[in-house]
Structure 1
């Protein structure tokens, strides 16, 4: 069982790694690190890659645990939905998935980790990922070279490949202007690939997770 960081609208790499595991634990006992994918994701616009950030507060300052992180205000929700409409309204499956995404974003809770957990459960269903998940109950140190809490949460992870090296291409709205951008938020995948999103995740998994990599991260074989 591997420990994953919580993630806002997780990246392709994150979800492929989830698929590779039988069970995952979401880290909630760590001291919350700033400027990671725990509260941000990335989408591709006509001007390049843009982050979508959830504003958060740390009740105990720099000693705040991830499970204690609060969403600072809810104004980001309308901003994110407006951005997604601007970016993806011409995508093949925008109309089909917008209501689902809107429900995810508008989910009501003050807790960042609960907010992300609710979204992740929905994406598992959409992508046919059967991995079970729960929260951990104590912090345990792991070797940095295989600590997914580090490897899967780096800022600007869309161009910093930590685990996945080969990505399955799918049509993107602004591909003709900025080229294909791998490892964006799952939102980019479902708006562009629709019902084939699960197949894309499967292909990335099959092309990257050989026996040596599965062993390194203690995933199922």
Structure 2
């Protein structure tokens, strides 16, 4: 384990069905939350895109978003969801095709249906609302602490070593700008995948891949170092 900001509370960039590496960082920190006060940058695709493995290999799922209009220095909290092309229907069908034969798909898919069925853009009108709700459900499945409530963060990156668990440090600690890079220090342990015999092991996927393939053991896997 590293003696870095992960020993205290952290704030993380928003993710849509975040990667296994992302939730390994969440598991390593005592407190964490997504920080939607980060300035909107259309190049940060991970906020509304994830990668899974289907019958042919790696594939992407992208939630449609609108542009924040009339707001100077818009943040990710200002980004609306778009109903364009009923993207949630495509995501549900793709997940069923990709993971329908995995051991635990039928046990967990119902927990994600509020994000994959008609009305999702009314239930969650902003990307903030959607990503936060998905994160809450994933944390429950992986037996992780609920996201911390305080949104204050320090401007130190994951490489800063200025705060050392002082009693006066901010409730949400350091902003970890690249959690996947931080998680690389843990090493990436392979796990059982339903098509590994044909496709080989595919790493760097959404935590959904871990949940549907391993079920309850996923909570143990993200804590392994």
**TM-score (norm. length: structure 1):** 0.79
Query: CA–CA distance in 2 between the matches of 1:44 and 1:17?
Result: 22
1:201 aligns with 2:193: no
Structure 2 equivalent of residue 50 of structure 1: 59
Q: CA deviation at 1:150?
A: 3.2
Query: CA–CA distance in 1 between the matches of 2:11 and 2:177?
Result: 10
Greater Rg, structure 1 or structure 2? 2
SS at match of 2:155: coil
SS at match of 2:148: strand
Q: CA deviation at 1:140?
A: 5.1
Contact 1:23 1:132 survives alignment (8 Å): yes
* Count of aligned positions: 196
Of the three residues 171, 178, 182, the one matched with 2:199 is: 178
1:9 aligns with 2:17: yes
Contact 1:55 1:72 survives alignment (8 Å): yes
Structure 2 equivalent of residue 215 of structure 1: none
1:98 aligns with 2:106: no
Structure 2 equivalent of residue 80 of structure 1: 91
The range that moved more, 166-175 or 186-195, is 166-175
CA-atom RMSD in angstroms: 2.3
Structure 2 equivalent of residue 212 of structure 1: none
Contact 2:20 2:204 survives alignment (8 Å): yes
Structure 1 equivalent of residue 75 of structure 2: 65
Contact 2:33 2:148 survives alignment (8 Å): yes
The structure in which a higher percent of residues are helix is 1
**Offset from partner CA, 1:131-179 (integer Å, 9 cap, x none):** 5423625x75334746755313xxxx7xxx5532522322212212321
SS at match of 2:223: helix
Q: CA deviation at 1:12?
A: 0.6
For structure 1, the 5+ residue unaligned runs are 208-221
Contact 1:77 1:105 survives alignment (8 Å): yes
**TM-score (norm. length: structure 2):** 0.77
Contact 2:157 2:175 survives alignment (8 Å): no
